[in-house]
Amino acid sequence: MKKYFHVIAYPIRVLLDGLMFFPLIILSLVSRFFQKKIDIGIGPEPIIGHKYQKKALQMYGYSVETYVNSVYFLTKDFDIRGDLYLPKYGTLLLPYLLFMVVIFRYKCIYIYFNGGSLFPTIFLWRAEPLLYKISKVQVVVMPYGGDVQELSRSNNLMYKAAVSKDYPAFRFRRKKIETRIDMWTKYANHVISGCDWVEYMYHWDTLVLAHFTIDEEQWKPGENTIGKSSRSNSLKIFHAPNHKSIKGTKYFVSAIESLRRDGFDIELIILQKVPNERIKEMILAADIVADQLIIGWYGMFAVEAMAMGKPVLCYIRPDFEDFFINEGLLEPDELPIIKCTHRNLKQKLIDLIQNKQRLDLIGDKSREFVMKHHSTKSMGKIFDHINRSVGIRPSGN
């Protein structure tokens, strides 16, 4: 049965979409007059940062829940998990059931450009903006990466090549990604952008460096590592790529192997698909964290490392940095990232080894940067402004 499940799933999904269309319209109309208990729902992608965004919103008085269809290996820390309520073959019904929960429970939802709870459906996802309008659920849409990366809009050839290697089937999603960007840009109540996502989007209501939010109390420097960088002659670098080509892992490996052959005491530790607590342990033990060398902006992994006072190696595209400076989100020379490319990485590492006392200073500035731009307080303030702009006020629950 399991072997043929995917074969028969498609026509079943088509049938379910047809059967559920009018009931969902009716339920959306009913929910319009229903007293929704929760201010904000965040989902349905199982992204680890949602729990931090939840805390940020709660700091400003909002009642918040996170909800997902299913979870990844990184974390299972979500308030509503659809995969716990239905057996495996019952997941065909999950998008519709989770949608019903959303429209009766939340005043506003934060979703990605993939869409809300109906994103796995065959054609009903196209009606989702209308259904939220009918149900009076406000929609804040934000990107996370693959949901907006319509690669024909990018001139980053190295990134295109990397995606082709890591995700060769991604090319089949281009038209759907394009359609969903247009749909949610037009029909969402508020659009957030930032990061390298600006290259793929053509409109936003709120611009941030990235909506990455971190709990600065959970992710903080360890007392036993203060001043550690300047006390040792060795250098330990930690890299945790979720996709090796996209992160430029081969360039980190090549540079460090070359330095080891030259006699430098340097170590590269690479981990993939491990729980987030393990990632935190490895960041704490490292001297430097290696983020990526292809995309052109820093990601959540870099934010976690900077919050713990660790220097981060990352390729920062100059046009992105200039753009955010011109938009008033960054001060010149404020970004504490150790900026590098695949071409100059080896020399950058030699400079750091020879001037290792710099690492603690960079780490201190990194922590300050996160507190200013990605802490629960700073991001909560932005989310609060967005919520008020769409008519949502904190309930204080």
Both tokens of 57, joined, read 């919103």
Whole-angstrom CA distances from 134 to 16, 28, 29, 131 are: 21, 6, 6, 5
Under 8 Å CB-to-CB from 92, ≥6 apart: which residues? 9, 12, 13, 16
The amino acid at residue 361 is L
Predicted confidence at residue 396, as pLDDT, reads 65
Which pLDDT does position 377 carry in this prediction?
Answer: 97
- pLDDT, one tens digit per residue, over 3-29 is 555 557 778 888 999 999 999 999 999
Phi and psi torsions of 44, nearest 5°: -95, 5
Residue type, 8: I
When pLDDT is averaged across residues 45-73 and rounded to a whole number, the result is: 91
- Can you tell me the mean pLDDT for 184-207? 98
Q: Name which of 351, 334, 289 is nearest 314 in CA terms.
A: 289
Mean pLDDT computed over 211-215: 98
CB 134 within 8 A of CB 32: yes
Beta strands in 196-317 (DSSP E): 206-207, 235-239, 266-270, 288-290, 312-314
Please tell me the pTM assigned to this model.
Answer: 0.93
Per-residue pLDDT tens over the stretch 49-58: 999 999 999 9
Distance of alpha carbon 13 from alpha carbon 122, whole angstroms: 6
Average predicted confidence (pLDDT) for the chain: 92
**Residue 300: strand, helix, or coil:** helix
- Within 118-277, strands assigned E span 138-142, 190-193, 206-207, 235-239, 266-270
Lowest mean pLDDT among 235-239, 333-337, 351-355: 351-355
